[in-house]
Structure 1
Amino acid sequence: MPKPERAPRRWLWMLIAAAVLCQMALNLARPLISYKVLALGGDSVMVGLTSASFALLPVAFALWLGRMSDRRTSLRGITVVGTLLLSAGPFLLSSAPSLLLVALASAVLGMGHLCFTIAGQSAIARFVPLSQMDAAFGWFTAAFSLGQLVGPLVAGLAMGSAGNVSAETRLTDANLALLLAGAIALLAVPVALGASATGTRRARANTAAAPAPSRPTSVVHLLGVRTVKTNMIASLALLATTDIIVAFLPLLGEETGIAPVGIGVLLAVRAAASISSRLLLPVLLSRWSRTGLITSSLAGAGIGLAILPWLFDNPVVAGILLAVAGFFLGLGQPITMTLITQAVPPDARGAALALRLLGNRLGQVALPICAGLLAAPAGPGGALWMSSAVLCAASIRWPRKT
């Protein structure tokens, strides 16, 4: 590991800046997918399937990319490929004339997100001292939340304040806003190049100094580590729930008469609360254990979402409940990254973090499909109740001691 630096690492701040731009583009695009699916004649089941397609390709490639990140001394290629795919996804979505092509374009968007996330997490796990890792992962995930704040706001403004407009108007507005998302992601490409420059030099030095591993740590061995397995479950529940909120809140808004701009504000409130919890992480960890914070993260988010559908017709109350849920949803993710990183050998950190992402993607495939099927008879609120049940179940299963 490199010696700790007193001054902020330039590469880390560049990585964070690239993450903000990528997530802004991604979270501008994703609510628009739901509106586009509805405009093309889809229903809640199709919204769930399209949301699941975002995670489908990453399920197949997550572990391979994680192994590659462990072997490569430079993460520049993976980072740049991720930003380019994140740029291509919105352009493809804008031109997609059918539900099938919307789902395929959503899968391209998911692959871009996977590449960028694995490269960023692996860089932090490789170059940041363990004593500073919680803070670094907290800043990295806070950048994701900042993009999740700005993106839906822009999406809501682009779609307008009218609650009931024609499908043709919805489709035109969504396509134009998707072009903006692609342009924002393109801005991240030169920033991502700068983010990997310093890390590349250190990677070469660390690789030369460290003994080569005899063989890669197997997936079975990684899953046998209790900390890896329990943190995968927690991360899966938290991230899949965030996806379901983004996908199904527009449907809940259409049902209750809340205009897209109002949905954008509510999604931004959720993201702002997640930013606050991630920036407060060092303070919270000085008073409570990581295990206690993850348990609170799962249970607190689950309780907030359980109440939300009943009171969603009151925007102020809905905003408060989403702020509570968002605070707890943001809390757990960076902690799971640190615990998994600390639980495995240094030469298996990229693979372990990729395994965590694989679990996330499996959840992002299965849970939105289940949410869509449940929303068909129960309404969009049923998707949120299902997420609440998953979160509460994960908090009960979480070990009290690690």
Structure 2
Amino acid sequence: MSSPDVDNPAVADPEQRYWRRNLAVGTVGSFTTLVAMTLLVPFLPEYVRQLGVDDPAAVVRWSGVAYGATFLTAALTAPLWGMLGDRFGRKSMLVRASLGMAVAMTLLGFVQSVEQLVAVRLLVGLLGGYSSGATILVAAQTPKDRSAWALGVLSSGILAGNVVGPLVGGFVPAWVGIRSTFVVCGAVIFLAFLATTFLLREPRTASRAPRAATAPRRGVWSQVQRPGAVVALLATSSLLLFSTMSIEPIVTVYVEDLGQLSHAAGVAGILVALTAVGSVVAAPRVGRLADRVGHTRVVIACLAAAGVLALAQAFVANVWQLGVLRVLLGLSLGGLLPSITAAVRHLAPPDAVGRVLGLGVSAQYVGQVAGPVLGGLVAAQAGLRAVFVATAVVLLAAATLNLVVLRRGGARDRSTTTPEIATAPPTA
């Protein structure tokens, strides 16, 4: 089955007419906005000091609050932006997010106190959400037989932005200064705003869905095919971010525990980057596989593989073994979120895709915030290696959850028209 071409007026579904162009714009826009967003990670503590905080413990505390503030408001508002996207058009949400982020990131360069820093970081999360909006747009517009691949390509851009941002942030402030760096970030995001405004296309028929604005929330869920499967997939996305982020804060300490005492932070940074690179490489390839054999099979297999690899990291004897396992873990994780998103998209009603996927974005943010906190608590109470064991348990539990819930639904819905989600291979 061939996929629609760019700007092909003969495509039956008008919302799929521009999917290739919009995928390219969304991927580049997500990459540039996330580079600008994550650029501050290396120098955030130094900026807190410049704002008048001297006590080392307070610097760490305020840095954590300022960094996490964006995720808090982003998690709370993601379903709202998804609902408004269903009503007023998904392009409008990307235009809003890119312009709002450009303004908010620029304002970060003009704050005069740490309280103002936190307030503007809250504003960034409130106004932002470009990559999550792009995910919803791509999921809604891409033909079903290419959805996981397209979401994998977009995921590669998102992951690459998260990797490149901190690397660039390590030396840009030394060239232009910290405050000017935020102005540069705002300018980069403004370029994404211009590209989104003038290059991204959305058919007029897809720009509004009046029923989505008036239908009650219960009505939306009554239209969802197999709501139990959707809830399981949304929970899986949260557990996935929870388990992976629980490891990140302890990597440096674990590297030291393995005997790498010199340049431990640099080695830890390389290990984290290797995981992300593995995911960047795997995401579109695993997505293409999921489009062929079914998303459920890929989700369960990748979760099981990630659980085994996380468990193996608890028993490594040196940094080299840890590095190999981190690359393999990245490969197994790369296609998970695209496959989960594609599966949810196929089960959601067309006029409520944004709302349902918005809940998924919120679930991911919850996992992203809770993971490091609980991971640190486990490490403090039971040791570093226990964190990897706990992470493996969470990933394997998620695999079991999907195996039970989705297979049960697949057996019940064997005669329905959702072969992409059923446990049997797709028929189309």
- For the aligned pair, the TM-score class normalised by the smaller chain equals 0.7 to 0.9
State the Cα deviation string for residues 223-249 of structure 1 (Å, max 9, x = none): 971221111122112223343344443
1:326 partner amino acid: G
Specify the alignment match of 1:151 in structure 2: 165
Partner secondary structure for residue 29 of structure 1: coil
The DSSP-based 3-state class of the residue aligned with 1:311 is coil
**Cα 1:302/1:311, change in 2 over 3 Å:** same
Query: Please, which runs of 5 or more residues in structure 1 have no aligned partner?
Result: 160-171
- 1:215 is matched with 215
Q: Decide which moves more: 358-367 or 265-274.
A: 358-367
Letter in 1 for 2:14: P
Residue 190 of structure 1, CA deviation: 2.0
Q: Give the Cα–Cα distance (whole angstroms) in 1 for the partners of residues 61 and 383 of structure 2.
A: 11
Change in Cα spacing, 1:178 to 1:285, as seen in structure 2 (3 Å) is farther
Give the aligned partner of residue 188 of structure 2.
187
Query: How many residues are paired up?
Result: 382
Aligned to 1:116: 130
How far did residue 134 of structure 1 move?
1.8
Greater shift after overlay, 63-72 or 145-154?
145-154
1:280 equivalent to 2:281? Answer no
The equivalent of 1:135 in structure 2 is: 149
Distance 2:254 2:225 in 1: 37
Identify if the C-alpha distance between structure 1 residues 195 and 207 changes in structure 2 by more than 3 Å, giving closer, same or farther: closer
Query: Which ranges of structure 2 fall in alignment gaps of 5 or more residues?
Result: 1-12, 50-54, 411-428
Q: Which residue in 2 is equivalent to 1:319?
A: 323
Change (3 A) 1:301 1:74: closer
Sort the Cα spacing of 1:36 and 1:198 in 2 relative to 1 into closer, same or farther, 3 A: closer
Aligned-partner Cα distance in 2 for 1:95–1:259: 33
CA distance in 1, matches of 2:333, 2:182: 25
Are residue 232 (structure 1) and residue 234 (structure 2) matched? yes
The 1:368/1:178 distance shift into structure 2, 3 A limit, reads farther
Q: Which residue of 2 aligns with 1:349?
A: 353
SS of 2:393's equivalent in the other structure is: helix
Residue type at the aligned position of 1:311: V
Which of these two proteins has the greater Rg computed from alpha carbons? 2
Q: Determine the C-alpha separation between the residues in 2 that align with 1:235 and 1:31.
A: 27
For 2:14, the equivalent position in structure 1 comes to 2
- Distance, in Å, in 1 between the alignment partners of 2:381 and 2:354 is 41
Distance 1:375 1:312 in 2: 18
* Distance in 2 (alpha carbons) for counterparts of 1:371 and 1:311: 19
2:101 corresponds to which letter in structure 1?
L
Contact 1:80 1:189 in 2 (8 A): no
1:15-26 superposed matches below 5 A:
15-26=26-37
Closer/same/farther in 2, CA of residues 150 and 138 from structure 1, 3 Å limit:
same
> Could you tell me whether the CA contact under 8 Å between 1:217 and 1:348 is conserved in 2?
no
How far is 1:338 from its partner? 0.8
* CA 1:373–1:86: 2 relative to 1, 3 Å: farther
Deviation per residue, 1:179-202 (Å, 9 max, x gap): 647634631322233235454541
Taking a change above 3 Å as real, the CA distance of residues 43 and 206 of structure 1, as seen in their structure-2 partners, is closer
Task: Find out whether 1:298 has 2:303 as its counterpart.
Answer: yes
Given residue 266 of structure 2, which amino acid in structure 1 is its aligned partner? Answer: V
Is residue 41 from structure 1 mapped to residue 57 from structure 2 by the alignment?
yes
- Which of residues 323, 326, 336 in structure 2 aligns to 1:332? 336
Displacement of 1:349: 0.2
C-alpha contact 1:31 1:250 (8 A) present in aligned 2: no
| 2:60 is equivalent to residue 56 of structure 1 | no
Q: Match for 2:73: what amino acid?
A: L
2:375 partner letter: A
Q: TM-score, normalised by structure 1?
A: 0.78
> In 2 relative to 1, CA 308–111 (structure 1 residues): closer, same or farther, beyond 3 Å?
farther
Distance 1:225 1:68, change over 3 A: same
The superposition leaves residues 60-113 of structure 1 with CA deviations (integer Å, 9 ceiling, x where unpaired) of 222211111111135335444356437745974997876x77766654554465
The answer to which structure, 1 or 2, has the higher relative contact order (CA under 8 A, 6+ apart) is 1
Looking at structure 1, the residues matched to 358 and 179 of structure 2 have their Cα atoms a distance apart, in angstroms, of 28
1:260 to 265, 284, 303: 265
Change (3 A) 1:207 1:111: closer
Q: Deviations over 1:114-167 (max 9, x none)?
A: x21332123213332223222221111111121233234445x549xxxxxxxx
How far, CA to CA, are the matches of 1:399 and 1:330 in structure 2? 19
In structure 2, distance between residues paired with 1:277 and 1:138: 8
Q: Is the Cα–Cα contact under 8 Å of residues 249 and 380 in structure 1 kept in the other structure?
A: no
Q: Does 1:387 align with 2:391?
A: yes
Mapping of residues 197-208 of structure 1, within 5 Å? 197=198, 199-202=200-203, 204-207=204-207
Question: Which of 300-309 and 250-259 deviates more?
Answer: 250-259
CA distance in 2, matches of 1:180, 1:250: 27
Q: CA deviation at 1:220?
A: 5.7
In structure 2, do the counterparts of structure 1 residues 200 and 370 end up closer, same or farther at CA, with 3 Å as the change threshold? same
Please report the RMSD computed on the Cα atoms of aligned residues, expressed in angstroms.
3.9
TM-score (norm 2): 0.74
Shift of 1:341: 0.8
Distance 1:42 1:289, change over 3 A: farther
Distance 1:36 1:131 in 2: 47
- The answer to whether the 8 Å contact 1:301/1:388 transfers is yes
Which segment is superposed worse, 100-109 or 118-127? 100-109
Give the number of the structure whose residues are more often helix, by fraction: 1
Distance 1:87-1:176 versus aligned 2 partners, 3 A rule: farther
DSSP 3-state at the match of 2:57: coil
Mapped to 1, the partners of 2:138 and 2:180 lie a distance apart of 31
CA distance, structure 2, for counterparts of residue 381 and residue 33 of structure 1: 29
Residues 15-41 of structure 1 show CA distances to partners (whole Å, capped at 9, x for unaligned) of 211111122233443466589899932
